């Protein structure tokens, strides 16, 4: 293998994918991971032989390369699981995605009518400016539906009021959203969203099993994965990272590097630079923030609680945001099948009241809220375990783009440094996206020229590419077929043709002197006043024919355009509805 020192910071999906790709090119990767296990936020934690998933990670992708990697790593240990998730609101469970019959039944006709009136009011008197998330959603759904299905959960996730979240973020995360799209989804049963699929793959003992297989493969083929190893300094000179200072327990060391791939939080990366970056870069890093969360695992003395893998909690009177039922992900996650294992997820910020709350208080709150929601009883909680996850979600506040641009500009000055992953690029990536960027970063070391930031910023990079590839050859023909028909041109053409045909028919019959034919032609007199089979009548019918044909041609073109517009609108709304399906999964 090559003697180059290729170092990756962080052993999450992105970092491991990069290291695995390097192995294929006979380059020995070295990975530093500061915790005691691989997987990052996608790891599996264990407690008394109970396995639980940090955040809930479904394995699905349209990236053939990533899918092949997953299948190779897991083999028969990759289960296919039927998805079920619902929304809990005011003591009732709503199907997700929303179903019209189920929603009407749970809300009641009166509340549903109020929502519709609220929607109509928002269409008549919308906010003239859409500066904030609540304005953006209200203009598309109405105030009442926004407050029911958007406000509470969104504020739990991000910890700030919806009127502090920028509309730009909403437009990015929920492309083309509308109430019509939501109804269309419910009525037409569209299920093509990349997130809300009917089934997904899942490792037998949780997502961490996947990353352990990656670690084993990397080490078996000569790579190195160092756990409990933390980078404490990045020494650079003349636009290159020359070495990385690290600490492994009580030992400290320094490793020279030829290339560095970082998936650690980009804010942490900036703080490790030696010499330190300019003041504006340090300030930008301090102003980028991440949302954390805590998961409280409760072992319940009950065989069955509910059928969902997870439930979104929209009740404002409880702090929990989402509840996982690990047995429904994989039966092997719970060693005693007469018991259930529940994950109560609390979104928070490092240092706030929830984050600093003692474990015993968190467990008491989680047990009580599970009972308040009517999902179990406090007396049935047998045991518990708490995990705190810092830096889980990059926060998209009003200034994050400006701060990130400053950092990106600074990092672009380094010729042997690449950042990848959700934390490394301050981008809310899915696992497959993070792995995709990690693979591209490894290819760049081998001579490729992928722009990781452009790839990362395209949310639908796989679907968009798939669509482009499918329509490249037929795009022109499709555009011609769907183009609007010119009403004036069509009317003129049909009118001219009709008038000329009737004019020539009159002249031809007149010249033949065919009595019966003349009598039949004269029947047109009933529709065209004053018409006779004569030279004057021929010019008269030319005018009448043009006029009738003109009107018929114009009406045909108008009807065709109207039908086409309605058809395109319907297709557009179907596609827009896919964005609605992603909403709660991608908050």
DSSP string, 493-556: HHHHHHHHHHHHHHHHHHHHT-HHHHHHHGGGGGTSTT--SSHHHHHHHHHHHHHHHHHHHHHH
Q: Are residues 257 and 405 in the same domain?
A: yes
Indicate whether 448 belongs to any domain.
yes
What pLDDT shows up at residue 214?
Answer: 98
Nearest to 73 by CA among 202, 214, 200: 214
- Domain range for 310: 290-394
Q: In what order do the strands lie in the sheet with 340-348?
A: 92-95, 85-89, 310-313, 322-325, 340-348, 290-300, 381-394
**DSSP sequence for 208-255:** HHHHHHHHHHHHHTT-EEETTEEEEEEEEETTEEEEEEEEETTEEEEE
Instruction: Provide the b/e sequence for 105-123 (b: ≥16 CB within 10 Å).
Output: ebbeeeebeebeebbeebe
State the DSSP string of 288-328: --EEEEEEEEEEES-S-S-S-SEEEE--TTS---EEEEGGG
564 and 496 share one domain? yes
Q: State the Cα angle at 45 between 39 and 48, rounded to 5°.
A: 155
Residue 467, in any domain of the structure: no
Check whether residue 535 and residue 556 sit in a common domain: yes
234 vs 580 pLDDT, higher one: 234
pTM: 0.77
Q: Residue 171: what pLDDT?
A: 62
Output 170 or 337, whichever has higher pLDDT: 337
At residue 567, does pLDDT exceed 50?
yes
pLDDT in tens, 21-30: 999 888 999 9
Q: Are strands 85-89 and 92-95 parallel, antiparallel or unpaired?
A: antiparallel
Residue 579 placed within a domain: no
| Among 394, 410, 426, residue at a domain's last position | 394
Q: Do 404 and 266 have their domain in common?
A: yes
> Does residue 582 form part of some domain?
no
Instruction: Judge if 129 and 183 occupy the same domain.
Output: yes
- Lowest mean pLDDT: which of 30-39, 224-233, 461-470? 461-470
- Same-domain status, 274 and 253: yes
> Which domain-ending residue is among 131, 165, 195?
195
Shared-domain flag, residues 295 and 375? yes
The DSSP code for 275 is: S
Q: Which of 579, 566, 583 is nearest to 192 (CA)?
A: 579
Query: For the residues 299-319, what does the mean pLDDT come to?
Result: 94
Spatial distance between the Cα atoms of 345 and 310, rounded to a whole number of angstroms: 10
Query: Which residues share a beta bridge with 419?
Result: 262
The confidence score (pLDDT) of residue 367 equals 97
72 within some domain: no
| pLDDT tens figures, 383-435 | 999 999 998 888 877 788 899 999 999 999 999 999 999 999 998 788 999 99
173 belongs to a structural domain? yes
Q: Left, alpha or beta for 426 (phi > 0: left; psi -120 to 50: alpha)?
A: left
Per-residue tokens: 353: 């009241």
Q: What is the pLDDT of residue 585?
A: 64
How would you classify the pairing of strands 259-262 and 2-9? parallel
d(CA 347, CA 323): 12
pLDDT tops 50 at residue 462: no
Question: Is 372 in the same domain as 502?
Answer: no
Q: What is the mean pLDDT of residues 168-193?
A: 52
Q: Give the pLDDT mean for 12-32.
A: 94
Predicted local distance difference test score (pLDDT) of residue 479: 46
Q: Do 283 and 403 have their domain in common?
A: yes
Indicate the residue among 351, 376, 394 that finishes a domain: 394
> Are 304 and 278 found together in one domain?
no
- Same domain? 297 vs 390: yes
pLDDT score at 94: 86
pLDDT at 573: 53
CA distance 100 to 96: 11
What is the token pair recorded at 455? 């790839």
Does a structural domain hold residue 385? Answer: yes
| Residue 424 vs residues 98, 305, 405, 456: alpha-carbon distances, Å | 34, 38, 14, 11
* 78: helix, strand or coil: strand
Q: Which CATH number characterizes residue 388's domain?
A: 3.90.660.20
HEC secondary structure over 184-195: HHHHHCCCCCCC
pLDDT for 191 equals 45
- pLDDT of residue 192 exceeding 60, the answer is no
Based on the structure, what is the number of domains in the chain? 4
Please indicate, yes or no, if residue 132 is contained in any of the structural domains: yes
Pick from 585, 587, 583, 569: nearest CA to 174: 583
Render pLDDT for 335-358 as a digit per residue (tens, 0 to 9).
Answer: 999 999 999 999 999 999 999 999
Q: Taking 90 as the threshold, does the pLDDT of residue 154 lie above it? A: no
Here the tokens at position 546 are 């043009």
The CATH number of residue 249's host domain is 3.50.50.60
215 and 262 co-located in one domain: yes
């Amino acid at each position: 293998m090559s003697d180059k020192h290729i170092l990756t910071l962080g052993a999450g999906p992105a970092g491991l994918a990069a290291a695995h790709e390097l192995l294929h090119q006979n380059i020995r990767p070295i990975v530093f991971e500061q915790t005691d296990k691989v997987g990052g936020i996608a790891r599996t934690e264990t407690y008394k032989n109970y396995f639980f998933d940090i955040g809930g990670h479904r394995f699905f992708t349209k990236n053939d390369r990533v899918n092949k990697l997953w299948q190779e790593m897991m083999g028969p240990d990759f289960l296919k699981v039927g998805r079920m998730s619902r929304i809990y609101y005011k003591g009732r469970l709503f199907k997700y995605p929303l179903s019209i019959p189920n929603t009407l039944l749970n809300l009641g006709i009166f509340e549903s009518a109020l929502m519709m009136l609220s929607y109509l009011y928002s269409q008549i008197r919308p906010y003239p400016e859409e500066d904030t998330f609540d304005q953006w959603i209200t203009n598309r759904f109405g105030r009442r539906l926004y407050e029911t299905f958007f406000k509470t959960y969104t504020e739990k996730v991000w910890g700030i009021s919806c009127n502090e979240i920028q509309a730009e973020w909403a437009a990015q995360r929920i492309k083309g959203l509308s109430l019509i799209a939501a109804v269309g989804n419910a009525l037409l049963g569209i299920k093509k969203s990349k997130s809300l699929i009917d089934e997904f793959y899942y490792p037998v003992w949780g997502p961490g099993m996947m990353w352990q297989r990656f670690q084993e493969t990397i080490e078996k083929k000569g790579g190195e994965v160092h756990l409990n190893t933390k980078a404490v300094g990045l020494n650079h000179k003349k636009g290159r990272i020359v070495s990385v200072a690290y600490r492994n327990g009580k030992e400290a060391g320094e490793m020279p590097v030829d290339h560095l791939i970082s998936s650690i939080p980009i804010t942490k990366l900036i703080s490790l630079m030696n010499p330190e970056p300019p003041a504006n870069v340090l300030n930008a890093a301090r102003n980028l923030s991440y949302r954390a969360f805590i998961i409280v695992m409760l072992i319940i003395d009950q065989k069955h609680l509910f059928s969902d893998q997870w439930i979104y909690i929209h009740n404002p009177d409880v702090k929990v945001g989402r509840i996982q039922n690990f047995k429904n992900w994989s039966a092997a996650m719970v060693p005693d099948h007469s018991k259930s294992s529940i994950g109560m997820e609390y979104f928070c910020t490092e240092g706030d009241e929830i984050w600093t709350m003692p474990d015993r208080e968190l467990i008491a709150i989680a047990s009580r809220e599970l009972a308040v929601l009517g999902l179990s009883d406090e007396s049935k909680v047998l045991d518990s375990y708490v995990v705190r996850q810092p830096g889980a979600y990059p926060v998209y506040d009003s200034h994050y783009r400006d701060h990130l641009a400053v950092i990106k500009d600074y990092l672009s000055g380094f010729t042997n440094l690449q950042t990848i992953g959700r934390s490394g690029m301050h981008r809310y990536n899915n696992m497959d996206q993070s792995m995709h960027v990690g693979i591209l970063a490894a290819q760049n070391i081998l001579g490729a020229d992928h722009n990781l930031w452009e790839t990362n910023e395209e949310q639908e990079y796989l679907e968009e590419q798939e669509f482009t590839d499918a329509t490249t050859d037929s795009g022109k023909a499709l555009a011609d077929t769907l183009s609007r028909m010119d009403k004036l041109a069509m009317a003129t053409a049909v009118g001219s043709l009709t008038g000329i045909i009737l004019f020539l028919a009159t002249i031809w019959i007149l010249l033949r002197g065919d009595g019966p034919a003349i009598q039949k032609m004269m029947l047109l007199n009933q529709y065209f006043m004053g018409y006779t089979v004569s030279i004057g009548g021929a010019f008269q019918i030319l005018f009448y024919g043009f006029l009738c044909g003109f009107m018929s041609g114009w009406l045909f073109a108008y009807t065709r355009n109207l039908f086409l517009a309605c058809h395109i609108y319907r297709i557009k709304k179907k596609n827009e509805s896919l964005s609605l399906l992603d909403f709660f999964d991608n908050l």
